[in-house]
Amino acid sequence: MVVVKVEFLGGLDQTFGGIKNTKCILDQQQLQNDITIANLIDYLASNLITNEKDLEMFIQDGTIRPGILVLINDTDWELEDKEDYILEDGDLVSFTSTLHGG
Amino acid sequence: MDQEGNKRKNIKEVKVGALCQLCHCRKAVMKRPKNLQKLCKECFFYIFETEIHLTIQKENLFYKGETIAIGASGGKDSTVLASIMKTLNERYNYGLNLVLLSVDEGIVGYRDDSLATVKRNQLQYNMPLEIVSYKDLYNWTMDEIVSCTNVKSSCTYCGVLRRQALDRGALKLDIHHVVTGHNADDMAETVLMNLLRGDTARIENSVNVTTNSTGSPVKRSKPFKYTYQKEIVLYAHYKKLDYFSTECTYAPEAFRGTARVLLKNLESVRPSCIIDIIHSGEHFKLKSRKERIVKNKKLQKTTKNPESQNEMEIRPDGSVSISASKDGNRCERCGYLSMNKICKACILLEGLEANRPKLTIDGITSNTDGAAKLSKTLEKLSF
């Protein structure tokens, strides 16, 4: 079981019903593997997005929509194996939309 | 390692490959889309600020003692712009007087909130703030305009009106230079959009760092011309800048959205494409003006009613037919710089006036937010 903090910034909170900060408890006993960001994204998409239409604001072609910045403990996930990053307790994952108004 | 492993994650041993490629001593936190360089926070700040300083220097954007209005919307771009301008002005002794200039379009639930951000910025950056509103300038709020037209054309109206509003606001303060937060993504988007629309005449000018139409009393510059949106967002995030990030209520249906999605998809495959598109735009050269005018005249002969086309043809972005017109003309109605007899804003406003809701409701003055929308809705009601 892993507990991580998740932030939705840059207007992305609107996709998640106005939630800006949340704590996610990921428990995957059925899977023996480590819990990765990919698992977290699946979890967020299926548990926190209430409106089906909002899903495409977050997910595109099975991954995070281009234009959304993913930071793991303030580090760009491109430097951290992206979806394959193994989550640890207390990690802070922030999703920031760069698409919203300038 | 055991001991360190128990501590917070970011203190744990860092691989050499994960170090900043500039200072080689701190952990890299971001990858520059421009050149895929991995940088730590400190080096990123330095590079980001220095690149903008170099753009300003290379293009000779300002002179000492100049008063500059920063077009501030409260969004990430203009907030970072205000912060950077203040930083660079102090660091490199530009000797500029900086003023924040905001336009209140009158969009309830969007602009009123973002203006609150600008007001906080005013205190944070210790700059004077001037707000000009559509209501005062044109006697219309965007909410009223949208209720009289449709959402799809809202950006056309808003864009045309905002351009004038910023100029008028600047002139009110006797300022002749406005800087805006347009970034590299915006520039590339504009190039793509003009290309998709076949508006070749605009490509060339749309990538200029400074636009100064002949006769226009206000110059506009874009110090972020080569700055990626991603880096602006990261800068704002790492510096914990206070910005407003709600999408405009009317924006999602605009054409720019389509070009933006295309660009973001391109960027995810090849991040340098944004700079590449700007570069292409810069090297896009049309034939000389003379040749074009000759060609335009030929076209006009084949058009049945060239006069009406001259004055009234409005493209989706609000631009008006430029055939056989000279720079530096003034609008007959409002005196604003215009290619044609009557400027775009006046043409748009004229169309709107004809569309004002015919119904008035007792007790609701036209100043009330969303009044036009309400009365327009009531007009359609039937029992």
- Chains A and B form CB pairs within 8 A to the count of 81
As a whole number of angstroms, the distance between CA B69 and CA B99 comes to: 5
Number of neighbouring beta carbons within 10 Å of residue B195:
17
**Top-confidence residue, B380 or A90:** A90
pLDDT at B95: 94
B297 contact partners, CB below 8 Å, separation of at least 6? B323, B324
Contact B31 A11 (CB under 8 A): no
DSSP codes, B79-95:
HHHHHHHHHHHHHTT--
* B173 backbone dihedrals φ, ψ, rounded to 5°: -95, 5
Per-residue DSSP letters for B265-331? HHHHH-TTHHHHHHHHHHT--PPPHHHHHHHHHHHHHHSS-HHHHHHH-B-TTS-B--TT--TT-B-
Three-state DSSP class for residue B39: strand
Q: Which residues contact B70 (CB under 8 A, 6 or more apart)?
A: B78, B81, B82, B85, B98, B99, B100, B101, B127, B178, B179
The minimum CA-CA distance between A15 and chain B, rounded to whole Å, is 11
What does the pLDDT look like over A29-75, one tens digit per residue? 656 678 889 989 988 888 888 887 788 888 888 888 888 999 999 99
At residue B311, the pLDDT reads 45
B264 contacts on A by Cβ (under 8 Å) = 65-67, 99
* Closest CA of chain B from A39, distance in Å: 20
pLDDT tens sequence for chain B (383 residues): 444 444 455 556 677 888 999 999 999 999 999 899 999 999 999 999 999 999 999 999 999 999 999 999 888 999 999 999 999 999 999 999 999 999 998 888 888 888 999 999 999 999 999 999 999 888 888 888 888 877 777 878 888 888 889 988 999 999 999 999 999 998 998 898 888 888 877 787 788 888 776 667 889 999 999 999 999 999 999 999 988 887 777 765 445 567 888 888 898 889 999 999 999 998 887 776 666 667 666 666 655 544 444 444 445 555 444 443 445 578 888 878 777 788 888 888 888 888 776 655 555 444 445 555 565 566 666 66
Cα–Cα distances (Å) from B329 to A40, B134, B366, in that order, read: 59, 23, 34
Burial class (CB in 10 A: 0-12, 13-18, 19+), B304: exposed
How far is residue B368's CA from residue B360's CA, in Å, rounded to a whole number?
A: 12
A75/B238 CB distance under 8 A: no
Q: Which residues of A touch B (CB under 8 A)?
A: 9-11, 14, 65-67, 69, 71, 73-76, 78-79, 88, 90-91, 94, 96-102
pLDDT value at residue B303: 52
Rg (chain A; Cα; Å): 13
Tell if the CB–CB gap between B245 and A9 is shorter than 8 Å.
Answer: yes
Instruction: Report the 3 state secondary structure along B175-212.
Output: CCEEECCCCHHHHHHHHHHHHHHCCHHHHHHHCCCEEC
- CATH superfamily, domain B41-282, is HUPs (3.40.50.620)
Distance of CA A93 to the CA centre of its chain: 7
Q: For residue B141, give the 3-state DSSP assignment.
A: coil
- Contact flag B245-A73 (C-beta cutoff 8 Å): no
Q: Pick the more confident residue, B42 or A81.
A: B42
Distance CA B167, CA B217 (A): 8
CA torsion through residues B365, B371, B374, B380, sign: positive
- B73 annotated to bind ligand: yes
Return residue ranges of chain B for CATH 3.40.50.620. 41-282
pTM value? 0.81
Rounded (5°) CA angle B80-A13-B30: 50
Are A100 and B247 inside 8 Å of each other by CB? yes
Contact residues on chain A for B268, CB-CB shorter than 8 A = 66
Q: What is the pLDDT of residue B3?
A: 47
Q: Identify the CATH class of A2-97.
A: alpha beta
Q: Identify the pLDDT of residue A2.
A: 87
